[in-house]
Structure 1
Amino acid sequence: MSAAEVAGFLAPAVVGALTARSTATVTVPALLAAGAVEGTLLGWGQATVLRRELSDFPRRRWIVRTAAAAVLAYAIGVLPSAFADTWQNWPIAAQVAAALLLGLVLLNSIGVAQWTVLRHLLPHPGRWVWFSAAAWLAGLTVFLIFTMPLWQPGQALAVTVAVGVAGALLMAVTMASVTGVAVVRLLRLLPPEPGRGRVNGPEPLRSPRAGS
């Protein structure tokens, strides 16, 4: 899962660095496409892990919904810069309210999309939404703390890309750590198979409940 997340986060990191000086007509479509790549790879990595524990896990549905939610998240992410001339004229209260609302939607977009799959497979699937939001918040925080001091105006493109790649690696490891804990905890909520005691790790392969 970590490898898939690393590969996924490289796409927007590199695209963002390469289009940093471009107009919004170039930057926005490029970042949305990179978001689709990231969501696809992220969903594939997570689905691969979950399929080991849930034999009938709907991998394609998970990947498609994760990719779509990632595009939505990136669309929200580019709104402030794409419409800066508009929202900067709003009252401060309106700016803060809009920022909070968009931030909540961004952080929960992928978790909610994946919840629509997990709700048929696991008990207490809503917990995944909180874990996912926490993972994105932690990952984005690490990424910004690392990259923002190192990205400087006028620096060489190679340096900008290298910083973005390193930040993406840190973000991926952070997110994989949080979501990995979430997967283990949620799988432990599954009822044990008849005749088999509870183990310390996730349960062995089983089929999800009907209706998946």
Structure 2
Amino acid sequence: MAPLGTLILCSLASAVWSYPSGAPPEACDSMAPSTAARPMGHGGPPQTRPSEFDVAINVDANGWMPDTEYTISITKKNSSYDDIEGFLCQVRSSASDNTRHGSFVNLPKFYKNAPCNTALIGSATHTVALYNASASMTWRSPAASLPLPWPGSLTAYCTIVQHTSIYWVKVPSNSFQLNPSSIVTSPPPTDDAAKVTAGSAIVLALAVLHKTFL
């Protein structure tokens, strides 16, 4: 049996190198708990084997609509797998694009918005070690008032912690496209409008010529 002092030291190390209260700000871009500042942030490198969890979002085949709420869920692929201890979820255009789209709203107890720079509502994480078989959260898509171009294809990415040193980084959901019907373009001018526009142009041109030859 290991000496009591050794057990206490190991317990303290686990507390220092893991994040039971959620992802730290320095993990926001990489979504990895092990960073240059904390190379052993979660006790070791991420898993390279396939994730034991699925990430999904309930956007239908028609695509996402602006300013609409959707549910992002994390579930175990097999009930025999160990539970979720923690997570960090974001919605991006791609895994390499650090821009976070939309916002996480109405988060349940033990969840919070991760402090990711100025995008305080663009990431969701845990506040305690969860030990849950699944996790779900509400994501609101970007508002229609945003300047164009809107992001087209989006994907939910979640870093999922199963144990202190067992975690997967940027597990993707299915990609989902912008619903074409949400793109509003200016209608072409009617014949009457075109005539008015052409007439105004002619009047303006005549006025310029008249002023030139005075």
Same fold, TM-score > 0.5, yes or no: no
TM-score by length of 1: 0.23
Which has more strand, going by share of residues?
2
TM-score of the aligned structures, taking structure 2 as reference length: 0.23
State the structure with more CA Rg: 2
Counting helix residues as a fraction of each chain, which structure ranks higher? 1
